Amino acid sequence: MTRLKKCTSRLYLGFIFLFLYAPILVLIVLSFNNSMSRTVWGGFTLQWYANLPTNDTIMTALGTTLRITLSSSILATILGTSAAIGIHRMKKRHAAIMLGATNIPLLNADIVTGISLMLLFTRFTSLGEFSVILAHIAFSVPYVIFNVLPRLQSMSDVCYEAALDLGATPVYAFYKVIWPEIVPGVLSGFLMALTMSLDDFTITYFTKGAGVNTLSTMLYTELRKGIQPELYALSTLLFLVAFAMLFIINYKGNDSKKEVTN
Amino acid sequence: MNNKMRTSFLAWPYALWVLICTIFPLFYILGYAITNDAGKLTFANLIVIADPVHLKSLWLSVQVAFITTVICLVMAYPVALILHNLKIRNKSFIVFLFILPMWMNFMLRILAWQNILSNNGILNNILSAVGLPTVHILYTKYAVILGMVYDFLPYMILPIYNALSKISDDVIEAASDLGANWWTTFTKVTLPLSKDGIISGIIMVFVPSLSSFVVSNLLGGGKVLLIGNVIEQEFTSARDWNTGSGLSIILMVFVLLSMGIMNKVDDSENGGMLL
């Protein structure tokens, strides 16, 4: 009976993974397809990978995407981590107000967030790469806060206060006592901010202004012309990089866990 | 206590940020929604929702979002449960595998579904190879729902999984020690204790599927007009920001209403955090 249960659950997991990864398999196959058409298999080729570095539209969009994603997720992590520490130390009522406001970008529809930010930006600055970065920070900060805050709440304040009593400066006490405890939360918050920013289309679409294109918005505007096959090659590479990173983080994470338990 | 006051200043930059980038924009969109292009106060932009075309797309959006959410919940709960019960070391690795697809461009992934679902696409080739009848769902609302389930499923799996991992094994053991069978333990212990995760998951799936316009554009082939598509068109091709803002406000009200209903269901007091 348990064997059967184990089998069905493995089978079900397999089915879900197939569902989630089927389109990715299709895209990887297309990146080796020697045909401009998406529906015809024209034999194996590496030419899209070879053409990639010289394809200016794609490389420019990739550069924009990476700049926006990295800067917004780093800034969101800094802003969100300090916010989480501050909120943790606030009076209950104030903290509740801050958390309520933090929920807004998560609860709001992307399209509403995008449009409302666009209305604000067109009034006070201009739309461009900078406005997209601001918008991405706006929707990714909540992920950082909600990853860091539980870490703070689950540790006791006693150690930090003891450090202060023993003469540590607040900065030193923070670095030695609080930081090691929250660092996994900061890291997962950063990773989520990075992923959300990379995956976003809607908010970028509304806040980008003319001339600025991330990979997603470039794709969307060029949809009628047909997709450049180099894009399949690029996203296959990006996916492999992410997969490799995941592997490395996974093994590192295991090592640090061992240290803690020993 | 003195300490508490001292470090709360770290949240001040964020408080300012929230004011400028979260609260202000909402007033802006409201401002546009209740004025016309001459700047005069009007409710015309809100009343346009009564237009049959808009009502139809709003109703279709609600249907699509509801079905998507139900399918996601039914598909995701067993996944979260299986993951939770999985006795392997690298569990976090498996969990990450659900987030990994997001690293491949979202629009390309949805476009790949066109390849899979089209009339002589991959799915139909497989179906006819094994002698099953073929399906013709591309450019219908079923394809849109499938695309949304595909896109939002991880948002349902992860919060439920997180909620399950907070349940202590002792509680489950106690239930079985006291004679509960698997099913009773599940319905009386596991399910109620994972309610917070379910509610987060429902919100994280329902809201984006109510408002998405890209999936319906790509897999609906312009034939499935959701409220998100209407709003997008007002801002891009029609260039009528006031009507677009008005419809956005209506959409927000809808989201808030469904949130209110969810909160009625969720009577627990530890709310406040979604993730």
pLDDT in tens, A42-60: 889 999 999 999 999 999 9
Mean pLDDT of chain A: 88
Q: Which of A29, A77, A94, A111 to mutate to test the interface with B (most CBs of B within 10 A)?
A: A111
Are A87 and A217 part of one and the same domain?
A: yes
Average pLDDT over residues B168-183: 84
**DSSP character for A52?**
G
SS3 state at A33: strand
Q: How many domains does chain A have?
A: 2
Question: What is the Rg, in whole angstroms, of the alpha carbon atoms belonging to chain A?
Answer: 23
Q: Which two tokens stand for residue B238?
A: 């029609």
Write the pLDDT tens digit of every residue in A207-242: 998 889 999 999 988 887 888 899 999 999 999 988
A188 interaction partners in chain B (CB closer than 8 Å)? none
Task: Give the pLDDT of residue B45.
Answer: 87
Binary contact (A235, B18; C-beta < 8 A)? no
DSSP assignment of A238-256 equals: HHHHHHHHHHHHHHHHHHH
Q: Which of B109, B145, B149 is nearest to B220 (CA)?
A: B145
User: CA angle A96-A102-A103, nearest 5°?
Assistant: 95
The angle that helices A110-124 and B241-265 make with each other, rounded to 10 degrees, is 140
Are A254 and A131 part of one and the same domain?
A: no
The answer on pLDDT for A248 being more than 90 is no
The answer on pLDDT for B187 being more than 80 is yes
Are A151 and A101 part of one and the same domain?
A: yes
Average pLDDT over residues B148-171: 90
Domains in chain B: boundaries? 49-265
Q: Which of A212, A215, A225 is nearest to A55 (CA)?
A: A215
Are A259 and A173 part of one and the same domain?
A: no
Could you tell me if A81 and A148 are in contact, meaning their C-beta atoms sit under 8 angstroms apart?
A: yes
Range of the domain at A94: 56-227
| Domain spanning B49-265, CATH class | mainly alpha
Could you tell me if A103 and B32 are in contact, meaning their C-beta atoms sit under 8 angstroms apart?
A: no
Q: What is the residue whose two structure tokens read 């695309």? A: B147
Are A221 and A251 part of one and the same domain?
A: no
Chain B residue with Cα closest to A93: B272
For B93-147, strand residue ranges (E) read none
Q: What is the residue whose two structure tokens read 């609080």? A: A178
User: Number of A:B CB contacts under 8 A?
Assistant: 247
Binary contact (A82, B11; C-beta < 8 A)? yes
Are A203 and A89 part of one and the same domain?
A: yes
Chain A residue with Cα closest to B79: A13
For chain B, the 3-state helix, strand and coil shares in percent, each to the nearest 5, are 75, 0, 25
**DSSP character for A90?**
S
Q: Which of A30-39, A220-229, B149-158, B185-194 has the highest mean pLDDT?
A: B149-158
Task: Give the pLDDT of residue B118.
Answer: 87
Binary contact (A254, B6; C-beta < 8 A)? no
Are A204 and A92 part of one and the same domain?
A: yes
Q: How confident is the model at residue A254 (pLDDT cuts 50, 70, 90)?
A: low
Q: Which of A106, A259, A154, A9 is nearest to B94 (CA)?
A: A9
Are A88 and A160 part of one and the same domain?
A: yes
Write the pLDDT tens digit of every residue in B226-249: 999 999 999 988 888 999 999 999
Are A94 and A204 part of one and the same domain?
A: yes
